[in-house]
């Protein structure tokens, strides 16, 4: 997932000035290759408004970010935005770079604990890697999200790209780079996130 070097940090009102929902993610959340306002985070803000759920969405996602990058940025984001809910969508780039699984797990755990200590509810958004990484690595990688969520009593979306990357012919759901989902796919990504977010955004 290429590094753009640009953070997309924009507050988008829901139905009112309610709690802040902070999204800390990578290109999958930063609308990489899409027109602004069409990614799943923007669609989430629109749905919150449509369902009259008072909330303000702050998207602090950066294309190419890793769990280490998110961990280093989170403290300042918590201080600045004082979120009620933090959505952590990171880890995919860790796997693409072959970073140690225990490092990824440790970073996710530290981010979850920091957000909870600041008074926020946490939703971890899980990822999976292609089978060419090896079945053992793939299983351990996908499992670490559930492990951190269970230990931290955080919310969990098992796989952000369910229904997108795991279909019989997924090529039509991805941009030309075969890494980043198309605009069409982002509505499915929101459908994966929404039920768990709804529980936390009451």
**Exposed, middle or buried by CB within 10 Å (0-12, 13-18, 19+), for 97?**
exposed
Residues 104-155: pLDDT tens digits? 999 999 999 999 999 999 999 999 987 778 889 889 999 999 999 999 999 9
Exposure letters 169-192 (e unless 16+ CB within 10 A, then b): eeeebbeeeebbbeeebbebbbeb
Specify whether the CB–CB gap between 159 and 149 falls below 8 A.
no
> Who has greater pLDDT, 170 or 44?
44
Angle ∠(95,183,18) on CA atoms, nearest 5: 85
Catalytic residues: 27, 177, 180
Mean pLDDT (the chain, rounded): 91
Exposure letters 24-34 (e unless 16+ CB within 10 A, then b): bbbbbbbbbbb
Residues 61-96: pLDDT tens digits? 999 999 999 999 999 999 999 999 999 999 999 999
**Rounded distance, CA 76 to CA 145, Å?**
23
Element (H, E) at 117: helix 101-117
**pLDDT(8) > 70:** no
Specify whether the CB–CB gap between 110 and 148 falls below 8 A.
no
Percent of the chain predicted with pLDDT > 90: 80
Specify whether the CB–CB gap between 82 and 20 falls below 8 A.
yes
As a whole number, mean pLDDT of residues 29-56 equals 96
Element (H, E) at 53: none
Q: Is 182 helix (H, G, I), strand (E, B) or coil?
A: coil
Question: Which residues, 6 or more positions from 7, have their beta carbon under 8 angstroms from its beta carbon?
Answer: 30, 60, 61, 62
The residue to which tokens 């952000």 are assigned: 160
N residues, the chain:
202
**Rounded distance, CA 51 to CA 88, Å?**
23
**Residue 164's pLDDT is what?**
95
Question: What's the whole-model pTM score?
Answer: 0.92
């Amino acid at each position: 997932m290429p590094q753009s070097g640009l953070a997309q940090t924009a507050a988008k009102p829901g139905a009112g000035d309610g709690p802040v929902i902070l999204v800390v993610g990578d290109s999958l959340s930063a609308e990489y290759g899409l027109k602004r306002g069409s990614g799943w985070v923007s669609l989430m803000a629109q749905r919150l408004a449509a369902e009259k759920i008072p909330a303000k969405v702050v998207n602090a996602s950066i294309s190419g970010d890793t769990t280490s990058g998110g961990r280093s940025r989170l403290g300042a984001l918590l201080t600045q935005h004082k979120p009620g809910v933090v959505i952590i969508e990171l880890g995919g780039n860790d796997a693409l770079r072959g970073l140690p699984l225990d490092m990824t797990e440790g970073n996710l755990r530290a981010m979850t604990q920091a957000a909870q200590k600041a008074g926020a509810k946490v939703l971890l958004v899980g990822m999976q890697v292609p089978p060419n990484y090896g079945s053992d690595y793939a299983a351990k990688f996908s499992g670490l999200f559930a492990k951190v969520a269970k230990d931290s009593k955080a919310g969990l979306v098992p796989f952000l790209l369910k229904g997108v990357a795991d279909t019989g012919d997924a090529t039509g759901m991805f941009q030309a780079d075969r890494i980043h989902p198309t605009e069409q796919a982002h509505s499915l990504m929101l459908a994966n996130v929404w039920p768990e977010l709804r529980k936390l955004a009451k």
